[in-house]
Amino acid sequence: MYSYHSGEIKNPGLELMLVLVRLIGFAALIFITAGAGIAAGLPHVVSGTVAGLFAVGLLVSGSFLEVISYKCPNCGTVTKSIKNYGSYQCPVCGTKSFITRDELTKL
């Protein structure tokens, strides 16, 4: 009897899982969109390209919880935060900002 499943998940494993989930979601999105394009009678190359662009656009627009670096508009301090989290406060100068897409808007 093996008992590998202790329920404990270490951080590197969670990070790897997150990456895998995102990759699977990304691939699924491409296949679904490409399939829809083919069903609509579009050539494979066209639907594949559209699907790829669509998927990349979704990823870039922050459909997934993505950690990116933000630069404070006031003092220029770069801090890591979760995309589309909402409000943000600079740890150095205390400037409150609002995260919209991949930019910080000074309040």
For residues 53 and 75, the answer to whether their CB atoms sit within 8 Å is no
Q: Which is nearer to Zn ion, 31 or 98 (CB)?
A: 98
**Candidate residues 75, 85, 89, 101; the one interacting with Zn ion per rule CB under 5 A:** 75
**Candidate residues 25, 83, 95, 102; the one interacting with Zn ion per rule CB under 5 A:** 95
**Candidate residues 93, 98, 100, 107; the one interacting with Zn ion per rule CB under 5 A:** 93
Strands of 25-107, DSSP E: 67-71, 78-82, 87-89, 96-100, 103-106
Stretch touching Zn ion by CB under 5 A, among 9-17, 33-41, 46-54, 92-100:
92-100
* Rounded Cα distance, 47 and 17, in Å: 29
The residue count for binding Zn ion (CB under 5 A) is 8
How many contiguous H segments (helices) and E segments (strands) does the chain have? 2, 5
CB atoms within 10 A of CB 43: 10
Stretch touching Zn ion by CB under 5 A, among 6-14, 16-24, 57-65, 87-95:
87-95
